[in-house]
């Protein structure tokens, strides 16, 4: 027995050790980014980046919020596409998932295939680009960052898997009571699928919050740049900030001690932060919502 519990202790130590190493690897880049964003620029230049700020300094954030219009506008665009996109996406995908989870739905096979096929085959970047710009005329339209993304096979697949586990007898008894399908969907299926819906909502809002690829392709209008893409542009050209400063007629900071490194990191923190704060509210649903078929309990 003693031997056994010894083994247990060693195993536990070993398991925690590996998991902690991985956890540290996951988290260190974020710690450094936050640390640099709160550091003094001169100190960074002299002593290099470090895990914790040696000289605590908020000037990077102060600098960004001196001329916040572009940033706030980008936030606005991102918040808009995240909220509208997530609502539309969860609605469309839960609507199609319910019929696909019903084994007595006659066209389940063909519709399931239509959905699945989009996962296996696509027209490719160029035909999609031509379609969207030439025929749908969605260039510089905010919905180009929403509509192509709201339905995807993978999320439907997660939802269907979850809904299949709802006992058929519940649906049957509602049918006997004469409830219409839309009522069964909204009154019974939706409330019972909460963990899966929360998971999908989080994954979707993540997609929208981090959206920059479609913007790279289709958005040139300054007022429609989403947060991540706006940031990417600013990074590529810090000159942009200098120009902004010139236009604002700012004279407090000369070009030389412009806090460019810490500003970059501060922007990364500002762009990633809000999603990080949202996460804990969804987390409890995850272990249930991310289940894929195959494992039978």
- Residues 149-168 touching other proteins, rule: CB under 8 A, are 150-151, 156-157, 160
| Window 256 to 275, contacts with other proteins (CB under 8 A) | 261, 264-265, 267-268, 271-272, 275
Rounded Cα gap, residues 181 and 189, in angstroms = 10
Is 221 a residue that touches other proteins (CB under 8 A)?
no
Measuring CA to CA, which residue among 69, 23, 45 is closest to residue 247? Answer: 69
User: What is the closest distance, in whole angstroms, from the C-beta atom of residue 96 to other proteins in the complex?
Assistant: 4
Number of residues located near other proteins, criterion CB under 8 A:
107
User: What is the closest distance, in whole angstroms, from the C-beta atom of residue 270 to other proteins in the complex?
Assistant: 10
Our CA dihedral for 253, 259, 260, 266, rounded to 10 degrees, sits at: -120
Per-residue mark of binding to other proteins, 106-125 (x: CB under 8 A): xx---xxxxxx-xxxxxxxx
DSSP string, 150-218: S--HHHHHHHHHHHHTS-HHHHHHHHHTT--HHHIIIIIIHHHTHHHHHHHHHHHHHHHHT--HHHHHH
Is 39 a residue that touches other proteins (CB under 8 A)?
no
Rounded Cα gap, residues 263 and 64, in angstroms = 7
Residue selected from 128, 140, 220, 223 as contacting other proteins according to rule CB under 8 A: 128
| Window 72 to 101, contacts with other proteins (CB under 8 A) | 91-93, 95-96, 98-100
The residues pairing with 156 across neighbouring beta strands, listed in sequence order, are none
Residue selected from 42, 58, 130, 243 as contacting other proteins according to rule CB under 8 A: 130
Residue selected from 206, 238, 242, 253 as contacting other proteins according to rule CB under 8 A: 206
């Amino acid at each position: 027995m003693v031997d056994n519990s010894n083994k247990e202790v060693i195993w536990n130590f070993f398991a925690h050790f590996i998991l902690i190493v991985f956890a540290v690897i996951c988290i260190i880049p974020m710690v450094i980014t936050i640390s640099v964003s709160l550091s003094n620029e001169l100190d960074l230049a002299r002593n290099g980046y470090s895990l914790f700020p040696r000289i605590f300094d908020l000037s990077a954030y102060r600098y960004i919020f001196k001329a916040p219009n572009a940033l706030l506008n980008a936030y606005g665009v991102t918040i808009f596409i995240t909220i509208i996109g997530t609502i539309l996406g969860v609605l469309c995908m839960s609507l199609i998932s319910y019929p696909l989870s019903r084994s007595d739905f006659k066209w389940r096979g063909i519709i399931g295939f239509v959905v699945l096929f989009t996962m296996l085959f696509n027209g490719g970047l160029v035909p999609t680009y031509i379609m969207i710009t030439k025929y749908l005329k969605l260039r510089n339209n905010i919905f180009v960052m929403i509509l192509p993304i709201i339905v995807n096979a993978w999320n439907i697949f997660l939802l269907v898997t979850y809904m299949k586990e709802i006992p058929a007898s519940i649906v049957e008894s509602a049918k006997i009571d004469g409830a219409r399908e839309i009522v069964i969907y909204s009154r019974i299926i939706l409330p019972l699928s909460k963990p899966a819906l929360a998971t999908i909502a989080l994954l979707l809002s993540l997609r929208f919050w981090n959206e920059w690829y479609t913007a790279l392709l289709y958005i040139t209008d300054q007022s429609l740049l989403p947060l991540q893409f706006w940031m990417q542009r600013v990074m590529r050209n810090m000159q942009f900030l200098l120009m902004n400063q010139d236009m604002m007629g700012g004279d407090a900071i000369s070009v030389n001690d412009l806090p460019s490194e810490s500003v970059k990191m501060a922007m990364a923190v500002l762009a990633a932060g809000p999603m990080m704060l949202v996460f804990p509210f969804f987390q409890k649903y995850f272990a249930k919502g991310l289940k894929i078929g195959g494992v039978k309990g």
